[in-house]
Chains A and B, each alone.
Chain A
């Protein structure tokens, strides 16, 4: 059971480039999330999905896009990368809403630098 898998682990982008961060889970979870973690700060929610075909914005969605065509996959797209998007990105999943005491399972993260 792999859990939540993120690729790539590391990436360096030039300003203005685009890329997609991949996330897949094999636990048949309905909810999936993307967070960013900046040094000395708590995780911030970028986007979330409550099921295939349904996505919504979190706290910091600007500069990002997502899609959820299947239950397993939840890719995060960065268009026109900016230095402010340098961060560590975490994908997570849960069977139900975390407000319902469900455990969130996190991937190992993608460390992104925009130079």
Chain B
């Protein structure tokens, strides 16, 4: 069964600290892996997209890694800001079509 599991479900960190969010997937055949940021009451916004051959992708203070062998990805946030408070969603695309599997997300709270 195609699944995307994210951990932790929620996380509280202090402003300025770093954090890492995890994504494990059992999707086959794999096409690409995306990380989205979803602010409360808004739609998801794309942060990074990685294909099978890419093992890291950065977008400002956000760095995503992908290990296609172990089917794991992580999103590292450096020097967190209050505006980083949001849900972060991992999405895996299935090769050969348009279908994507969404994780349930990690809810991040950044406190002053």
Query: Taking beta carbons and an 8 Å cutoff, which residues of A are in contact with B?
Result: 4, 31, 35, 40-45, 48, 50, 90, 92, 97-99, 101, 103-109
Contact = CB atoms under 8 A, between A and B. Distances in A.
Interface stretch (B12-20, B63-71, B77-85, B96-104): B96-104
Considering the complex of A and B, which 9 residue pairs feature the smallest CB-CB distances, nearest first? A106-B43, A42-B102, A97-B98, A43-B102, A99-B31, A103-B46, A99-B93, A42-B104, A106-B44
Contacts of A42: 4, 89, 101-105
Contacts of A48: 98
Contacts of A99: 31-32, 93-100
Contact of A98 (B45, B51, B93): B93
Interface residues of B, number: 26
Interface in B38-93: 41-46, 49, 51, 89, 93
Interface in B1-17: 4
A90 B102 CA distance: 13
**Best-buried of B94, B95, B98, B99 by chain A (most CB within 10 Å):** B98
A101 B100 CA distance: 11
B41 A101 contact: no
Most chain A beta-carbon contacts within 10 A, residue among B44, B46, B94, B101: B44
23 contacts: A4-B43, A42-B4, A42-B89, A42-B105, A45-B100, A50-B98, A90-B43, A97-B98, A98-B100, A99-B32, A99-B93, A99-B97, A99-B100, A101-B32, A101-B93, A104-B44, A104-B46, A106-B43, A106-B44, A107-B43, A108-B41, A109-B41, A109-B43
